[in-house]
Chain A
Amino acid sequence: MDLINHLYLGFAVAFEPLNLFYCFLGVLIGTLVGVLPGLGPVAAMSLLLPATFHTTPVASIIMLAGIYYGAMYGGSTTSILVNIPGEAASVMTCLDGYQMARQGKAGRALGISAFGSFIAGSVGIIGLILIAPPLVDFALKFGPPEYFSLMVLGLTILTFLTSASMIRALMMAAFGLIVGTMGLDNISGLARFTFNIPELLDGVGLVPVVMGLFGISEVLLNIEMKVKREVFTTKVKGLLPTLQDWAQSTGAIIRGTVLGFFLGILPGGGAVIASFVSYAIEKKVSKHPEEFGKGAIQGVAAPEAANNSAAQGAFIPLLTLGIPSNVVMAMLLGALIIHGVTPGPLLLSQHPQLFWGVVVSMYVGNIMLLFLNLPLIGFWVQLLKVPYSILFPLIILFCLLGSYSINNSTTDVAIMLIFGVIGYLMKKISLEAAPMVLAFVLGPMMETALRQSLIKSKGSFSIFFTRPISATCLILAIALMVIPLLPWFRRPGIALESEDVK
């Protein structure tokens, strides 16, 4: 069978010593970059890109790809340990992962995160091999109207993210939308909310915002309560996930993988959105939604699986059509071109050993990552035993360095600190950050898609309903909003206002 031959070729290429070495180097760097808050795979890849010129194209792509999906593994570590997302796609892991760490279950959270990532990554690769071409054709059908409707659907899903009050979640979402408008608008060319600060022309960065909202605010809160609070149960109840954990997480991992893969393929989609949506869906289908936000293991398994399979899915448009679906893929595109390989529909036929070599090495890389991350769990857990008075200055130091390193800009540090204070205040009056972040990510994409669609349709809103995919998403969104209001669907535990629960 043709596929067997291809895989054989892929294994032959991937197991060449040079490629194995670069694969390991890539995933190692990726893990480190993921663990360190702020510095992301893009920065690491752009720094290392010139270094790859001296090797073969295959080796450099293998390494750069390894950095990308390796960062997805590493990003969850600080999310779980200290509530700081190492990567924007690890934000959702903070919600339950950190709570698990506080209950002494850090090892199990880290473990399920590593295993979930591995399973999702592997499935993602299989998906890439088997169903890439028809999937890409489907993804191409997503034009501005479809994106708009998908984003609307995404925003309605945020209503599932709330644990308490719907009104508050919507308030936070509105805040997120407003913050998302900051920057130079691409369609009209007008600068919005930039206060004449040039760095804000590009908008407020996602990474400083989440580092502030989740990480810094948590530190501030802990400092405030240090007299009363004992930070972490130093008694760690086991380093690996228990059988019960596995039983509970299986569904989450499967759902997260599938969702993440499809969202990763959509150009402009990606790991961040995938992690949010999978968390929300997991909460929705759970029999105990009130556990989410307090240390539900599914709340760790689902987003971690989603962000890894999204990372694999993101390769598909690049490898099949030569179209990068996000900034990381664009860097890979550049690397390919510099090496004389022109990505495009002809990549598979012209450079089969590159395509199959990279695909197989992604699987090899995932295995390496599993073996890299699991033994480290013991080490990370020990780190938690460090007294908080020593830990928190280090955390702040890493955050300051990390946020600066994104763009070599002190504006990012300032943004992180400002949102740290905002996040602290939000926590004091029980406003949740997750809906804000989701709206902040989806809002700009939604707005651009809306305006592009309306330009195309010359102002007619019917374009959203006459196109099948767009109409489906919108109807689904409306249904999701309306159904919980209907009396026979009203579930206990989901309140419109927190007073309602009584």
Chain B
Amino acid sequence: MAQRFFVWMGTAIFLLALVIPAAAQDYPNKPINLVIQYPPGGSTDLTARALAIGAKKYLGQPVVCENKAGGGGTVGVALVAAKPGDGYTIGIVTSSPTMAYHMGKLNFHPLNDLTPIMRWGNYLFGIVVRADSQWKTIQELLQYAKQNPEKISYGSPGVGTPPHLAMEEFSLVSGLKFTHIPAKGIAENNTALLGGHIDMVSDSSGWAPLVDAGKFRLLATWGEKRCARYPDAPTIKEAGYDVVARSHLGVIGPKGMPKPVVAKIADAFKKAMEDPEFVSVMKKFDMDHYYLGTEDYTKYMQSDFENIGKLVQKLGLDKK
């Protein structure tokens, strides 16, 4: 009798033992949804899609991209945070939700409600004006701004986005004031600038084709150093103001994702970063490869959270 019982128990435990780690072995057994938090056709969208296509090879299941734009890149992340942490919904993230959180505009916590998976890229942000505008260099623009506070209007991809916060930080450091007109992405900003409805645009490199065509002029970039594609454009740092637009591109999931699942996704995306198609799309947008694995990325998100918190407080934009 007792023997029978132990045999059954043993079998049951054995089967259980097979099932539990198999949860990670089984993953993924259906397509994975990747939520892109910006409209289609932009730099985030196209690079993320290239990455997703590469990752499919290593995951064995398609990574289906959907766009959920809005809120300067927060709507899509909010949607991911609300889904179960089973690994079938993941999303692209930048520093925007963290910025929105500190500004009191986020209804979830960017650290506690998300699982960081890995980091893969960084944007090229810049300040562009029309080619026929009166300012030929960044210095001329700043000079004009000094004499005409709040006269220059600029478009950004939304309130709390890195190009917006960079401008705000810049205003703080330099004392120059601009008028901010938020839009919903680079296409809107490009249109508004082409039509002369705004004076300049602070946004990621979607303006590049128009710069190449001679319709826009790139005055400065927001990075640590000059970008390879437009070596003639100085950085804001070089212009004398220690301001760098901080952002990054990473993959996150909802909170509570099992570690093996996270590891599988991180591994697949890391390998996808070497994909020639991904590399070429990143190059087209002048975006840097910016890899960090899961653990390092978790630490990065932590420090990013603290740094941005301090920045937002310094800028007086926090609502707390």
Chain B: which residue is nearest A203 at the CB level?
B70
- With a cutoff of 8 Å between Cβ atoms, the chain A residues found around residue B208 in the complex are 342
Contacts A201-B79, A343-B209, A458-B150 known; list 19 others, CB within 8 Å.
A46-B40, A46-B67, A50-B53, A140-B194, A140-B196, A144-B197, A184-B74, A187-B159, A198-B82, A202-B69, A322-B210, A330-B39, A330-B41, A330-B42, A342-B209, A344-B210, A344-B213, A345-B210, A456-B153
Task: Check A183 against B70 for contact (C-beta < 8 Å).
Answer: yes
Q: Which of A49, A144, A183, A344 has its CB near the most chain B CB atoms (within 10 A)?
A: A344
Task: Check B75 against A184 for contact (C-beta < 8 Å).
Answer: yes
CA distance A144 to B79 in the complex (A): 30
Cβ of A284 under 8 Å from chain B: no
Chain B: which residue is nearest A185 at the CB level?
B71
Task: Check B68 against A191 for contact (C-beta < 8 Å).
Answer: no
Give the total number of A-B pairs whose CB atoms are below 8 A apart.
153
CA distance A196 to B81 in the complex (A): 13
- A46-B40, A143-B197, A456-B153 given as contacts; is B192 within 8 A of A342 (CB)? no
Selected interface stretch from B43-51, B219-227, B299-307:
B43-51
Chain A: which residue is nearest B46 at the CB level?
A334
- With a cutoff of 8 Å between Cβ atoms, the chain B residues found around residue A183 in the complex are 70
Chain B: which residue is nearest A350 at the CB level?
B213
Task: Check A186 against B158 for contact (C-beta < 8 Å).
Answer: yes
CA distance A187 to B184 in the complex (A): 9
Task: Check B74 against A338 for contact (C-beta < 8 Å).
Answer: no
Chain B: which residue is nearest A42 at the CB level?
B40
- With a cutoff of 8 Å between Cβ atoms, the chain B residues found around residue A323 in the complex are 187, 190-191, 194
- With a cutoff of 8 Å between Cβ atoms, the chain B residues found around residue A190 in the complex are 105
- With a cutoff of 8 Å between Cβ atoms, the chain B residues found around residue A327 in the complex are 39-40, 67
Cβ of A240 under 8 Å from chain B: no
Selected interface stretch from B18-26, B117-125, B175-183, B230-238:
B175-183
Q: What is the interface of chain B mostly: helix, strand, loop, or mixed?
A: mixed
| Residue from the list B82, B180, B187, B192 in contact with A330, Cβ < 8 A | B187
- A191-B107, A198-B81 given as contacts; is B66 within 8 A of A346 (CB)? no
- With a cutoff of 8 Å between Cβ atoms, the chain B residues found around residue A201 in the complex are 70-71, 74-75, 78-79
Q: How large is the interface on A (under 10, 10 to 19, 20 to 34, 35 or more residues)?
A: 35 or more
Which B259-317 residues sit within 8 Å CB-CB of chain A? Answer: 277, 280-281, 284
Residues of B within 8 A of A (CB): 33, 39-42, 45-46, 49-50, 53, 64-72, 74-75, 78-79, 81-82, 100, 103, 105, 107, 150, 153, 158-160, 179-184, 187-188, 190-192, 194-198, 208-210, 212-215, 277, 280-281, 284
Task: Check A321 against B194 for contact (C-beta < 8 Å).
Answer: yes
- With a cutoff of 8 Å between Cβ atoms, the chain B residues found around residue A408 in the complex are 33, 66
A 15-51 binary contact with B (CB < 8 Å = 1; else 0): 0000000000000000000000000001000110110
Chain B: which residue is nearest A342 at the CB level?
B209
- With a cutoff of 8 Å between Cβ atoms, the chain A residues found around residue B192 in the complex are 143-144
Task: Check A338 against B50 for contact (C-beta < 8 Å).
Answer: yes
- A189-B103, A330-B187, A344-B210 given as contacts; is B46 within 8 A of A337 (CB)? yes
CA distance A187 to B192 in the complex (A): 16
Task: Check B159 against A345 for contact (C-beta < 8 Å).
Answer: no
- A189-B160, A337-B284, A408-B66 given as contacts; is B194 within 8 A of A330 (CB)? no
- With a cutoff of 8 Å between Cβ atoms, the chain B residues found around residue A188 in the complex are 159
- With a cutoff of 8 Å between Cβ atoms, the chain B residues found around residue A42 in the complex are 40
Cβ of A158 under 8 Å from chain B: no
- With a cutoff of 8 Å between Cβ atoms, the chain B residues found around residue A144 in the complex are 181, 192, 197
- A201-B75, A334-B41 given as contacts; is B180 within 8 A of A184 (CB)? no
- With a cutoff of 8 Å between Cβ atoms, the chain B residues found around residue A346 in the complex are 209, 212-213
- A46-B65, A187-B182, A452-B181 given as contacts; is B71 within 8 A of A324 (CB)? no
CA distance A17 to B75 in the complex (A): 43
CA distance A345 to B70 in the complex (A): 28
CA distance A394 to B79 in the complex (A): 31
Cβ of A285 under 8 Å from chain B: no
| Residue from the list A142, A186, A196, A407 in contact with B182, Cβ < 8 A | A186
Which A36-89 residues sit within 8 Å CB-CB of chain B? Answer: 42, 46-47, 49-50, 53
Task: Check B75 against A331 for contact (C-beta < 8 Å).
Answer: no
Which A438-484 residues sit within 8 Å CB-CB of chain B? Answer: 452, 455-456, 458
Q: Which of A142, A324, A327, A329 has its CB near the most chain B CB atoms (within 10 A)?
A: A324
Cβ of A291 under 8 Å from chain B: no
- A337-B46, A342-B284 given as contacts; is B195 within 8 A of A141 (CB)? yes
- With a cutoff of 8 Å between Cβ atoms, the chain A residues found around residue B191 in the complex are 140, 267, 317, 323
Cβ of A245 under 8 Å from chain B: no
- With a cutoff of 8 Å between Cβ atoms, the chain A residues found around residue B49 in the complex are 49-50, 334, 338
CA distance A96 to B314 in the complex (A): 60
Cβ of A362 under 8 Å from chain B: no
Counting from the closest, the 4 A-B pairs by CB-CB distance are: A143-B197, A330-B41, A344-B209, A140-B195
- With a cutoff of 8 Å between Cβ atoms, the chain A residues found around residue B281 in the complex are 337-338
- With a cutoff of 8 Å between Cβ atoms, the chain A residues found around residue B40 in the complex are 42, 46, 327, 330-331, 333-334
- A49-B49, A456-B179 given as contacts; is B195 within 8 A of A331 (CB)? no
Chain B: which residue is nearest A191 at the CB level?
B107
Task: Check A189 against B159 for contact (C-beta < 8 Å).
Answer: yes
CA distance A184 to B182 in the complex (A): 14
- A267-B191, A345-B215 given as contacts; is B209 within 8 A of A189 (CB)? no
9 sampled A-B residue pairs with Cβ under 8 A: A46-B66, A140-B196, A184-B70, A199-B79, A327-B67, A334-B40, A338-B277, A452-B181, A458-B150
Task: Check B179 against A189 for contact (C-beta < 8 Å).
Answer: no
Chain B: which residue is nearest A141 at the CB level?
B195
CA distance A163 to B303 in the complex (A): 62
- With a cutoff of 8 Å between Cβ atoms, the chain A residues found around residue B70 in the complex are 183-184, 186, 201-203
CA distance A191 to B183 in the complex (A): 16
Which A343-385 residues sit within 8 Å CB-CB of chain B? Answer: 343-346
Which A183-240 residues sit within 8 Å CB-CB of chain B? Answer: 183-184, 186-191, 196, 198-199, 201-203
- With a cutoff of 8 Å between Cβ atoms, the chain A residues found around residue B42 in the complex are 330, 334
| Residue from the list B50, B71, B190, B215 in contact with A184, Cβ < 8 A | B71
Task: Check B181 against A456 for contact (C-beta < 8 Å).
Answer: yes
- With a cutoff of 8 Å between Cβ atoms, the chain B residues found around residue A189 in the complex are 71-72, 74, 100, 103, 105, 158-160
- A50-B53, A198-B79, A334-B46 given as contacts; is B66 within 8 A of A345 (CB)? no
- A142-B195, A334-B40, A338-B46 given as contacts; is B78 within 8 A of A198 (CB)? yes
CA distance A64 to B198 in the complex (A): 33
- The minimal Cβ–Cβ distance linking A220 to chain B, given in whole angstroms, is 30
A 117-128 binary contact with B (CB < 8 Å = 1; else 0): 000000000000
- With a cutoff of 8 Å between Cβ atoms, the chain B residues found around residue A407 in the complex are 66, 68
- With a cutoff of 8 Å between Cβ atoms, the chain B residues found around residue A331 in the complex are 40-41
CA distance A186 to B160 in the complex (A): 10
- With a cutoff of 8 Å between Cβ atoms, the chain B residues found around residue A202 in the complex are 68-70, 75
- With a cutoff of 8 Å between Cβ atoms, the chain B residues found around residue A186 in the complex are 70-72, 158-159, 182-184
CA distance A276 to B213 in the complex (A): 37
- The minimal Cβ–Cβ distance linking B108 to chain A, given in whole angstroms, is 8
- The minimal Cβ–Cβ distance linking A473 to chain B, given in whole angstroms, is 16
- With a cutoff of 8 Å between Cβ atoms, the chain A residues found around residue B45 in the complex are 334
Chain B: which residue is nearest A346 at the CB level?
B213
